Structure 1
Amino acid sequence: MRNRQLQRYGLFLVLAMALAVLSACGQGSSGPSAPDSSSSPAPAAGSSGQGASGDANETITYRAANGEVQIPKHPKRVVELANSYVGHLLTLGIKPVGVKQQAADNPYFKGKLDGVDNLGDGQSIEKILQLQPDLIIVLSIVEPAVLEKLSKIAPTVAIEYGKLPVREQLLEFGRMTGNEDKAKAWIERWDRKIADYRPKVKAAVGDGTVSILQPYAKGIYAFGHSFARGGEIVYGEFQLKAPPIIQKEAIDSGKGYASLSLEQLPDYAGDYVFTSPWTGDTADPEVTYGSAVWKNLPAVKNGRVFTIDRQGSLFNDPVSLEEQLEFIVGKLTGANGS
């Protein structure tokens, strides 16, 4: 028994050394030059394999971005370090045991994460160990050394953000966790909502263009169809028009966003604009909002600028999309300004 305790203590010391490098789990962004995706800012490559028995220890072989991983067939204690997939888990009836600060700050999760440990920036090995997870979820951009350390705690699945649209990503999580039926049920409900709202929104907007803009320290970000902020709904579900330059640089390119200067803003601003300050720095958004360039935009003059939630807009999971949907539909059909 004493030898076993010493072995466990030795493993804890090895894992604790990972604390200094675990900062790579801190953001869902690929680097300082890219907007945060929650993280902007979703996706594993697929799943396969069969469990050997029906007991609690049954596992499956899951093909993730980091290769084949043996994971519990029905995980019970999931630590979500990617931020982007907390809402997927909640939709499938799985409350994670630990999430990062960014997910905890999402107003759309209010009341849904009661009792869930807030792991802050996700860098504390001790906190993750204490939660005794049976599955850890990270983004594929995590440092290999960090991924290795996490994998010693529990099976760790890395997901490539933005590879799969929301329906496919939710189905993937359903297959991963043994909840495919719940995933399909949500998709059916979502499809009915979109089918009801789409003609109303398109009738209200007509041939008008829509932009999603966020000022940041070095300029302004314009978002497309796959980088949260409501783009999946505006351009994906409702198929509304983006200004040509956004269509080219943020959508057709597959990048999901474009960066522009204040002087370029008139080319990127649509007839309708959704906006909020970016969360990735402490720049003063009034540099943009208080400028003559901004104030002279047709959307501003016509009262067609709508302020999206700064924290909630970072997410494109099912829970967040449902909230964003109601907001977007209400603004575009009512056009009552911000």
Structure 2
Amino acid sequence: MKRQNHHLWKICCLILLLGVLSACGTSAVQPSGSSTDAEPASENEETVLYQAANGEVRIPKNPERIVVLADSYVGYFLALGIKPVGATDHALQNPYFQGMTDGIENLGDGKSVEKILELQPDLIITFSGVENIGKLEKIAATVAVEYGKTGYREQLREFGKMTGREEQANEWIAEWDRKLAEQKQKVTAAVGDQTVSILSPYAKGIYAYGHNYARGGEILYLEFQLKAPELIQQEAIDSGQGWVSLSLERLPDYAGDYIFTCDWSGDDADPSAVYDSSIWQGLPAVQNDRVFQIDPIAAYFNDPISLEKHLEFIVEKLTQ
């Protein structure tokens, strides 16, 4: 009798244990969408897949702490009403951003992983091909952008899609197109069939720019469709390269009736070697007082904020 009772007791214990394990298993596989007493996940924890130059990246649906290491793109976020938590020193020096960058952490050249980590970003924007992208990807979702591959309108839409600000992107584009239409007739009437060049002296010669390397080229050549000198059209624009390097001796063949120019800030060039030369001084644009100096730092940028300022400058100079 004792042996029978002991056997029944073991069966009861086994049944009880199986019941507990079954309950635990059900809890472990409970679907994420089912109702529970737990707090719901915050909106910023939601993620979406984004196709970037560095592959498919899972990014926050509504990023709140964005670090922009690709200095060309800081102005895109400012135009969308987003102030990055960190940006490079070069971007923060852009005079066109004056009054808009207060509170943004200066990350110098952007290469210090430690400084970036301290900002606890949830999204990092960088150029494609940077050496430390693997380290950046360990800090936060990292989107690499290939410079010049996408026009500025589409690039703004992409950043709008990435940050949940597509409406703001479309609003800026609509207002921008209105401004361009308003000014184009005035500018083309003043310039007519005359040519326009964008030139920058550097250590080994002169750069001539086309329509996709900032310095107002997008407005002059793409939007207003002003004429470039034939060689710039062929070598910098039609080629798709965006720029061409030339010697001082060849300058007259690349110089337009109007010239927008600035010092090249990327090396130890002495611009006076060009500007004080007899070749430069003999150019028709120089003799006719049709040479316009662009701010050398602002010239680098072609984001929406900078484009608005470039437009004001171009219209003022070409219609005066």
Distance in 2 (CA, whole Å) between partners of 1:206 and 1:297 is: 19
Distance in 2 (CA, whole Å) between partners of 1:227 and 1:138 is: 18
- Quote the residue 1:295 is aligned against: 281
Residue type of the partner of 1:97? V
- Quote the residue 2:4 is aligned against: none
CA positional deviation for 1:283 = 1.3
Structure 2 runs not aligned, ≥5 long: 1-40
* Aligned match for 1:232, one of 206, 218, 232: 218
- Quote the residue 1:121 is aligned against: 109
- Quote the residue 1:68 is aligned against: 56
- Quote the residue 1:262 is aligned against: 248
DSSP 3-state at the match of 1:85: helix
* Aligned match for 1:314, one of 291, 300, 305: 300
Residue type of the partner of 1:236? L
Distance in 1 (CA, whole Å) between partners of 2:104 and 2:212 is: 28
- Quote the residue 1:151 is aligned against: 137
CA positional deviation for 1:125 = 1.4
Given that residues 214 and 300 in structure 2 are in contact (C-alpha distance below 8 angstroms), is that contact kept between their aligned partners in structure 1?
A: yes
DSSP 3-state at the match of 2:168: helix
- Quote the residue 1:246 is aligned against: 232
1:2-41 Cα distance to aligned partner (Å, 9 max, x none):
xxxxxxxxxxxxxxxxxxxxxxxxxxxxxxxxxxxxxxxx
- Quote the residue 2:318 is aligned against: 332
Distance in 2 (CA, whole Å) between partners of 1:311 and 1:101 is: 11
Distance in 2 (CA, whole Å) between partners of 1:196 and 1:141 is: 39
CA positional deviation for 1:95 = 0.3
Give the RMSD, CA atoms, in angstroms.
1.1
- TM-score under structure 2 length normalisation: 0.87
Given that residues 43 and 62 in structure 2 are in contact (C-alpha distance below 8 angstroms), is that contact kept between their aligned partners in structure 1?
A: no
Distance in 2 (CA, whole Å) between partners of 1:137 and 1:282 is: 29
Given that residues 53 and 145 in structure 2 are in contact (C-alpha distance below 8 angstroms), is that contact kept between their aligned partners in structure 1?
A: yes
What number of residue pairs does the alignment pair up?
281
DSSP 3-state at the match of 1:287: helix
* Aligned match for 1:139, one of 127, 134, 138: 127
DSSP 3-state at the match of 1:56: helix
Given that residues 126 and 145 in structure 2 are in contact (C-alpha distance below 8 angstroms), is that contact kept between their aligned partners in structure 1?
A: yes
Distance in 1 (CA, whole Å) between partners of 2:115 and 2:255 is: 44
Q: Which of these two proteins has the greater Rg computed from alpha carbons?
A: 2
Q: Does 2:130 correspond to 1:182?
A: no
DSSP 3-state at the match of 1:170: helix
* Aligned match for 1:103, one of 91, 115, 129: 91
CA positional deviation for 1:54 = 7.2
Superposition map of 1:212-227 within 5 A: 212-227=198-213
Distance in 2 (CA, whole Å) between partners of 1:98 and 1:121 is: 11
- TM-score under structure 1 length normalisation: 0.82
Structure ranking higher on relative contact order (CA contacts 8 Å, 6+ apart): 1
Distance in 1 (CA, whole Å) between partners of 2:162 and 2:262 is: 34
Distance in 1 (CA, whole Å) between partners of 2:80 and 2:43 is: 21
Inter-CA distance 188–54: structure 2 relative to 1 (3 Å threshold): farther
CA positional deviation for 1:56 = 2.2
1:83-132 Cα distance to aligned partner (Å, 9 max, x none):
01101001111100100011011000111110100000112111101100
DSSP 3-state at the match of 2:71: coil
Given that residues 198 and 215 in structure 2 are in contact (C-alpha distance below 8 angstroms), is that contact kept between their aligned partners in structure 1?
A: yes
Given that residues 44 and 63 in structure 2 are in contact (C-alpha distance below 8 angstroms), is that contact kept between their aligned partners in structure 1?
A: no
* Aligned match for 2:65, one of 55, 77, 83: 77
Distance in 2 (CA, whole Å) between partners of 1:119 and 1:320 is: 21
Residue type of the partner of 1:299? A
Distance in 2 (CA, whole Å) between partners of 1:76 and 1:314 is: 27
Residue type of the partner of 1:82? A
Q: Does 2:182 correspond to 1:196?
A: yes
CA positional deviation for 1:155 = 0.4
Residue type of the partner of 2:261? T
Residue type of the partner of 1:122? G
Distance in 1 (CA, whole Å) between partners of 2:257 and 2:265 is: 24
Distance in 2 (CA, whole Å) between partners of 1:322 and 1:74 is: 27
Residue type of the partner of 2:118? Q
